[in-house]
Amino acid sequence: MKMLIVLAAVALSSPALATDVINQDAKPYKLTILDGSVTETKSLRANGSIYGLCGSGPCTFSIKGSKVAGVGKGDRLVISGGVIKKQ
């Protein structure tokens, strides 16, 4: 009986959500993520993607000249034309 309860709990649990960033530009960017009081910088290749960011949220994401705040878990961000925005 206990095993059945454990299996049901695992089957019904939802996957952890995180933010994905897709760079549609043909140039690389330094991506800065502010998650609470923690700041992290990632290198994002030209036409590249980074998955699984901002695990706790809300977060602020920025590249040179563009910023988007209030990003939550499960949001998807796109960089296009030098602008970062929610998709």
How far, in Å, CA of 52 to CA of 73, rounded? 9
Asked, for residue 21, whether it belongs to a domain, the answer is yes
- Name the domain count of the chain: 1
| Domain at 23, CATH number | 2.60.40.2890
Q: Considering Cα of 33, then 34, then 35, then 41, what sign does the dihedral take?
A: positive
Q: What is the pLDDT of residue 4?
A: 43
Q: What is the pLDDT of residue 12?
A: 37
Asked, for residue 11, whether it belongs to a domain, the answer is no
Asked whether the predicted pLDDT for residue 81 surpasses 50, the reply is yes
Q: What is the pLDDT of residue 57?
A: 78
pLDDT tens-digit readout, 11-55: 333 345 789 999 999 999 999 999 989 999 999 999 999 999 998
What domain range is 38 assigned to?
16-86
pLDDT tens-digit readout, 54-80: 988 799 999 999 999 999 988 999 999
